[in-house]
Amino acid sequence: MRPPMTVRKKTSKKAARNAEIIIPDKLYFRIGEVAGLCRLPAYVLRFWETEFPQLKPVKSSTGQRMYRKRDVESVVRIKKLLYEDGFTIAGARAQLREESKTDRNQTALPFPVGPSASAAHLRNELQQILHILSARR
């Protein structure tokens, strides 16, 4: 007698491709590592370097592309825009440019408007030192 058959759900390629990408805590990644992490061929990453100015991996002395964590995060963002959100390359480029503008326009830190009591106290101390030094002449 055969054991009962179990039903196993098949995961689609698209679901596997869109699974959460966990970026290890490293300083640099080679192009093959980034390709494996992001489930993309290396030639796609090289092409994206020509299309997206945000993606600029440094090159080692041997000419190997070395991606920083920031570059890998950019690759993940570009992949999401192109493959999941349906942007064209030009549209994704414009979206990334817009996102970087909003990052630059952050609200300013709240600095005190008027001089604080400690600044006034420091000014008073410096004036006393100046008075002592000028009296010695």
Q: Average of pLDDT values for 89-106?
A: 84
pTM of model > 0.85? no
Q: Any idea of the CA torsion for 89, 91, 92, 96, to the nearest 10 degrees?
A: 140
For domain 14-102, the question of CATH label 1.10.1660.10 is answered with yes
In angstroms, rounded to a whole number, what is the distance separating the alpha carbons of residues 137 and 134? Answer: 6
Each residue's pLDDT tens digit, 58-84: 999 999 999 999 999 999 999 999 999
| Contacts of residue 28, Cβ cutoff 8 Å, sequence gap at least 6 | 58, 66, 67, 68
DSSP for 70-96 reads HHHHHHHHHHIIIIIS---HHHHHHHH
